[in-house]
Chain A
Amino acid sequence: MPETAGPAIWQRRMMLAVLLTPALLWLFALIILPHIELALLSLRQRIAPHTYAASLTQYQTFFAEPLYWRVFVRTAILSALATALTLLVAFPVAWIIAKVARGRASSLLFVLCLIPFWVSETVRALGWLILLRESGVLPTLLVRLGITAVPVELLYHDATILIGLIYTSLLFMVVPLVSSLESLDNSLIEAAYNLGGTGASILRQIVVPHAAPGITSGCIVVFMLTLGNYLTPNLLGGKNSQWFTELIYTQFIVRFNWEQGAAFGFLLLGLSTAMVALGLRVSGQRFVDVMRRA
């Protein structure tokens, strides 16, 4: 037996290695390698043409320059707000898909959430431009209805950025919510009613605790996507958007200050990691459980 079992195990291991190689290569070449390079970049300073020295100047600049850290904090707060609002919008949608609609209606609703993603993010953002700009559909309509005297500019507000971000993120919140709500046994809800529960108490004590891993995983994904989004804040917020990814873009592309850009990139990575850790801590979830739900 051992003569045959040995090669079998060896073969299986080979198989696993072969299957994992592309993923590991991808991880190494596109994530780990650039980050090592970026880390080194962010920790040096140009002292003369083609001469560099190790230093923390890039990080010091970030804290010394109010524009930089204010944009950083603003991006974090707006991303958290967008995540919370996405959850509020997505929860009823997911509830209807998972618990109210039956069969075909349920799949149809799901497809409706998916359809916007057939169009590229750029085109979707441009759609908002057409609707909201001063000479766009909505301001014109408001004038026609006599609500405003002159067309108002609906673009370039924080609210506009939030709407765009919620719209872009909705599906990533709905999917984990639907899967976690579907696994909630209806008889638990009935039992809670039977014992005198009301809609609000059942939501708080039965539904939300059950859906917690789905809520957490949806929030993590949406927060990361929002924090790292470049296009939507830029197009809908214009010059006012003040999104941190724009600062990174500017440093790399406009100012050719790769050292500063790399430091910003690391700060954003740190922020994203810290917020996820905080979210998990607050909701009492474990990362592995949450990701299994996503």
Chain B
Amino acid sequence: MSIPDLSVEQIDKRFADHVAVDRLSFAVERGSFFSILGPSGCGKTTLLRMIAGFTLPDSGDIRIGDRSMRAVAPNRRPVNMVFQHLALFPMMSVGDNVGFGLARRGVGKAERARRAAAMLERVGLAGAAHKRVDELSGGQRQRVAIARSLVLEPTLLLLDEPLGALDLKLREHMKIELKQLQAAFGTTFVYITHDQSEALVLSDHVAVMNHGRFEQIGTPQQLYYQPQTPFVAGFVGANNCIAGRALGVDAELVELVTPQGWTVRARRSGSIAVGEAVAAFVRPEVASIEREAAQLPPHMTCHAGEVQSLLFDGANSAVLIVEQQTRFEFRVALPQTGRLADLTPGARVFFGFDPQRAICFSASAGAAAPAGAGGGHA
């Protein structure tokens, strides 16, 4: 097995009153697109800054290639970074921005201009070298920031939420562009974001981070279909969270009851004792909705409810239902065929879901839970 491009070993960083990064270890394979996904304040920016060398860890080691970075200054690391607001140099032309790092390495002027122009061409900005930075659009600046880093052929490219400042349409476009750039260059990307859609679309592997720890590392599919902690289930993708107490537990399923008395069943993840506080997660697209109870598939437990509101969002349209007895709010994806598009608030409906496709965790399960907690999804 080849040496990973980045390996982080038992890294720890504390600020005065809180733990930013808590004894974290992970490795990133050569040439992969690795994302660190987490809410703001989870420590992901601190982690990235430690890899870049702007912040020093309290303990632990960061290895890039096979070299320890402990005593290496940020300007000597084989790492380049695309900053959140890009940090292009406004006092220089686009070409000089791209050539800046080369100049620092002592590359001659003509060679610098040639390589900068070639790199700009590769990111689709041929002939832009003489332009001023403020003459470029948001997406073009993004590409300059990436070109400025990649021209140095770093082992690792760090990206600090670079799409955050763009508007939605451009962000969607740049997501695809980033993925294509990464595939074309083959450079290892480490990308941090709080946007789960960015992480899922772009990455080969995603680490979900919370309170300075990784809750789960996996492929986007694993995170989505086999979350191992309640945090991951709640953070990645839309989910209905049903909190309550375990009434009965068997080899596969947990029956839980909410404080209002609604009873549902879900697949067990990890060990759960009867009477324990639990949380079940049901994705909106896993649940079905019908006007008549008999239309629901037979393996689903049928629940009666009433439409509270329709959340139309094209292919992501959903309907918000309140369960009849307990007034529990439950979100169900609308069929893509438009079959139930004429539902109106107040309409009486029936809904249900396959308990095998819902997942139930002990409420105390978290990053501290043993890795075997995911054993239930076999």
Chain B interface SS verdict (over half): mixed
Asked if B148 is an interface residue, CB under 8 A from chain A, the answer is: yes
Chain A interface SS verdict (over half): helix
Chain A residue at smallest Cβ distance from B79: A194
**Are A195 and B54 in contact, with the CB atoms below 8 A?**
no
**Are A198 and B91 in contact, with the CB atoms below 8 A?**
no
**Are A196 and B87 in contact, with the CB atoms below 8 A?**
no
Q: Which residues of A contact B101 (CB under 8 A)?
A: 195-196
By a beta-carbon cutoff of 8 Å, the part of chain B in contact with chain A is 52, 54, 74-76, 79-81, 83-85, 87-92, 100-101, 104-105, 148-149, 152
Q: How far is the CA of A188 from the CA of B86 in the complex (A)?
A: 9
Q: How far is the CA of A70 from the CA of B148 in the complex (A)?
A: 53
Known: A194-B52, A194-B74, A196-B105. A185 touches B152 (CB 8 A): no
Q: Which residues of B contact A198 (CB under 8 A)?
A: 75, 104
Which of these, A192, A193, A196, contacts B89 with CB under 8 Å? A192
Q: Which residues of A contact B75 (CB under 8 A)?
A: 193-198
| A26 nearest CB across to chain B (Å) | 38
Q: How far is the CA of A201 from the CA of B100 in the complex (A)?
A: 10
**Are B91 and A209 in contact, with the CB atoms below 8 A?**
yes
By a beta-carbon cutoff of 8 Å, the part of chain A in contact with chain B is 185, 187-188, 190-198, 201, 205-206, 209-210
Chain B residue at smallest Cβ distance from A189: B87
**Are B91 and A195 in contact, with the CB atoms below 8 A?**
no
**Are B84 and A187 in contact, with the CB atoms below 8 A?**
yes
| B303 nearest CB across to chain A (Å) | 51
Q: Which residues of A contact B90 (CB under 8 A)?
A: 210
Instruction: Apart from A195-B75, A197-B75, list 16 A-B contacts with CB within 8 A.
Output: A185-B87, A187-B87, A190-B74, A190-B83, A191-B87, A193-B54, A194-B74, A194-B81, A195-B80, A195-B104, A195-B149, A196-B75, A197-B100, A197-B104, A206-B89, A210-B91
| A156 nearest CB across to chain B (Å) | 44
Q: How far is the CA of A209 from the CA of B97 in the complex (A)?
A: 14
Q: How far is the CA of A8 from the CA of B310 in the complex (A)?
A: 51
**Are B104 and A201 in contact, with the CB atoms below 8 A?**
yes
Q: How far is the CA of A170 from the CA of B90 in the complex (A)?
A: 29
Q: How far is the CA of A190 from the CA of B88 in the complex (A)?
A: 11
Q: Which 8 A-B pairs have the closest CB atoms?
A: A195-B101, A191-B87, A196-B104, A209-B91, A187-B87, A193-B75, A187-B83, A194-B81
Chain A residue at smallest Cβ distance from B83: A187
